[in-house]
Amino acid sequence: MQPLKSAEVFETATSQYWFDDALIMYVVTKKGTPPDLSAHKKDIEAFKKRIGNKKICAIMEINDSTPTSKEIRKFNTSELPDLFKAIAFIIKNPLMKMLATLYMGIKTTPFPVKMCSTEEEAKEWIKTQL
């Protein structure tokens, strides 16, 4: 996924993200050192300021995602439901997609989530969630 030339791109320790005109957030994860909880909280606070007091939909390409700590996953469990209406994950690796689907089957989310193989599939589905 590539941002539009007009989009402002924001960087975190583990990803870059931007928004389109419909306020859909696009996230591309990157390989690297996982952030500590303090750095992650700062990234989330900056993100909250950008979106204001509204929930948004997101498309996240997570093929190069960096594993996160249990503390960050716990923090995300409490924070993300207030930020997202729905998330479409793009996962091209079949094994990673199978593991993510299995995990999502065990761990329910308070918002709709879909595992997609392509950006087009993710965009079509996320539009139904706006």
Residue 101's pLDDT is 74
Q: Whole-angstrom Cα distance, residue 101 to residue 88?
A: 12
How many separate domains does the chain show? 1
Phi then psi for residue 103, to 5 deg, are: -60, -45
Task: Determine, yes or no, domain membership for 32.
Answer: yes
Residue 21's pLDDT is 80
Task: Determine, yes or no, domain membership for 80.
Answer: yes
Task: Determine, yes or no, domain membership for 4.
Answer: no
CATH of the domain at 40: 3.30.750.24
Task: Determine, yes or no, domain membership for 71.
Answer: yes
Task: Determine, yes or no, domain membership for 2.
Answer: no
Residue 61's pLDDT is 95
Task: Determine, yes or no, domain membership for 3.
Answer: no
Residue 104's pLDDT is 72
Range of the domain at 62: 10-127
Parts of the chain with a pLDDT under 50: none
